[in-house]
Structure 1
């Protein structure tokens, strides 16, 4: 089916074509600040245009449902870590979709480490799973267990993670659910970072001096950072002043807040912060920003559109903007890909899961809710499955 709003080949240069001129022109403009980060009162016309381009975002059509769920399927969902909202929401959505398909569902907590993910996959193999769905887990981190699942002829679906071929190895996932047509997962993750960069460029009037938080554990973490850096290069007056590398062990050991606080203290010229996982705000970044004495000088942007972060933005707290996408929608699409594979079909090729810029005045989810697109994907899939 055709993609909405714009063609996806153009989306692969996401928003840059329309915004480069505006962003570049904005790079010499002055910056204005308020009590909760830079305001729009002194923002140039060109910077505002660039922001609006980012806020408009782009999405795609839901795929046609072409297969009915097979009965009696044993589904195992492997959460990347139930202590992080970015793992909880898509994992619970996959469980809900599996139940809607009429399947037996099991959830295993991978506890934010490869050993936990691998143990969950092997537990699923022992339990005679028909479908195993790791959430947010790259293939190289669980190459051995995925190879065992493949040998056992179990369908494995990558939901938000990359396959091993991205790192030069053999494909081991039966399928990796694709968010948008004509865009690789690498491009999609890079687009997240690029939209974050668009936001800080516009909000600082082309004077962004950024503390960039880089997620080192997954393949896709540095892809977000690269997308950010590549987009920021379009602004002559902007730069990444400092990059802070963070891994899951910083969350497990509760050291994220102190590491971030030290990095911010050591970069006094920073006026913008970008971090790749919304849940990290509550894991220490938010408190570090609030207690830094520099909140009024910082434009802060996260990623994923989580409910708690949307409420922080709404309450004028330690975050100004976000990049939203529906991990729940991606999970429903991942279950549909499993339904297709079990019926002898190919995966859909596009889940129609878009990306959109968020702040207090644009695309902000309702209180207590994560970002959701204006489409009823649950009804779409359940109706198509005959449920």
Structure 2
């Protein structure tokens, strides 16, 4: 399994493999020689190095398949207070990743006997994030759970919720003291702790971004020209990009062409990727940070390209329609599977503890890379390697 140290510093492992393929610089220039014996020795050494390099790249693939170490959900929890009303703000029900997390949180809240409603944040069109939070306050909800929404987008509504005595829980998003707002004021009542290894969503998402780069490096054997879609204007997009950049920095045989997308250009992903492929005809690898962006046109751009046979696209979370694209070779080839539904259940566990005056407990989240060679279920979505629902129900006495 990945350790946090390995995830952050894979350079040694990668360069052992890529040096043999001419993709990493050793910092040593061998002196020339006219001796046929020395030349034979050098050739034998190169052959040995190539064999060792391939073994290390294969080892990297094995590590990516195993993924980041999964923990387990908390084994015990305080009693959930009865009769609570919970307002769940989805980042946007039109985006399947947002829909999956919001519906999981609703399912979990109803499991403990609470009344739960989802408000569609509509990818913040017209300031919908703030409107949804304020609607929850006006509806006298006991708590508001936000999904993949940064504190920076809803600072004043969060203050209004606090003044009204409404607890606020954040999952898959960033409080104002993390991400671009590091050092700012923490405004959520509490945030889900993804895992012991990743105590913040920022660290979790950076690790996922890094794994995406490592999959490309390993599958390309250390030589890749990559179009990277960068989701600008969001902390999650920034964290995924930072992780990807850390990962690809270990590969001097890799070239990256970043192209930007924002919430306002979400619907233009196909044109953005098509234009990038035309501008960079040497690019044969495409990295897209979220599966919703793949579905918004990334996969269509790749599947419809005249160069489709040579293109490889890795996307986000391993959502059902995206895995169907992988199964059918329809413009997506891989994903970094992460259990968004587990994240939603962890938000409710966090809220139970907040109601009891306790601190959140790490949820045990991890991730694994998925492609047609590994971790691809026959049908449906990516499934975490444990029954987290049963574990939470047991902890909650349900």
Normalising by structure 2, we get a TM-score of 0.87
Equivalent residue, structure 2, for 1:109: 120
Equivalent residue, structure 2, for 1:157: 169
Q: 1:217, CA displacement in angstroms?
A: 2.5
Structure 2, unaligned runs of 5 or more: 24-52
The alpha-carbon distance between structure 1 residues 285 and 182, as it changes in their structure 2 partners (threshold 3 A), is closer
C-alpha separation in 2, matches of 1:296 and 1:322: 18
Equivalent residue, structure 2, for 1:39: none
1:244-272 alpha-carbon deviations (Å, 9 max, x no partner) = 11011122xx3221122112211111111
Equivalent residue, structure 2, for 1:314: 327
**Contact kept in structure 1, 2:14 and 2:56, CA below 8 Å:** no
Q: 1:44, CA displacement in angstroms?
A: 3.8
- Alignment partner of 1:118 is 2:134: no
Aligned 1:229-378 pairs, distance under 5 A: 229-240=245-256, 242-251=257-266, 254-348=267-361, 350-367=362-379, 369-378=380-389
**Contact kept in structure 1, 2:72 and 2:388, CA below 8 Å:** no
**Contact kept in structure 2, 1:139 and 1:162, CA below 8 Å:** yes
Structure 1, unaligned runs of 5 or more: 30-42
Aligned 1:1-387 pairs, distance under 5 A: 9-10=4-5, 13=7, 16=10, 19-25=13-19, 27-28=21-22, 44-58=54-68, 59-113=70-124, 115-166=127-178, 167=181, 168-183=183-198, 184-240=200-256, 242-251=257-266, 254-348=267-361, 350-367=362-379, 369-387=380-398
Equivalent residue, structure 2, for 1:40: none
**Contact kept in structure 2, 1:201 and 1:232, CA below 8 Å:** yes
The alpha-carbon distance between structure 1 residues 374 and 182, as it changes in their structure 2 partners (threshold 3 A), is closer
The alpha-carbon distance between structure 1 residues 362 and 44, as it changes in their structure 2 partners (threshold 3 A), is same
1:66-105 alpha-carbon deviations (Å, 9 max, x no partner) = 2111101010000000000110000000000000010011
SS in 2 for 1:178: coil
1:8-51 alpha-carbon deviations (Å, 9 max, x no partner) = 6546x35827843455346537xxxxxxxxxxxxx944322221
C-alpha separation in 2, matches of 1:17 and 1:155: 43
The alpha-carbon distance between structure 1 residues 17 and 269, as it changes in their structure 2 partners (threshold 3 A), is closer
C-alpha separation in 2, matches of 1:308 and 1:244: 24
1:152-192 alpha-carbon deviations (Å, 9 max, x no partner) = 12111111000001203210011110111142322211111
Aligned residue pairs, count: 363
Q: 1:383, CA displacement in angstroms?
A: 2.1
Q: 1:361, CA displacement in angstroms?
A: 1.7
**Contact kept in structure 1, 2:230 and 2:260, CA below 8 Å:** yes
The alpha-carbon distance between structure 1 residues 17 and 380, as it changes in their structure 2 partners (threshold 3 A), is farther
**Contact kept in structure 1, 2:85 and 2:115, CA below 8 Å:** yes
C-alpha separation in 2, matches of 1:57 and 1:383: 26
C-alpha separation in 2, matches of 1:61 and 1:19: 28
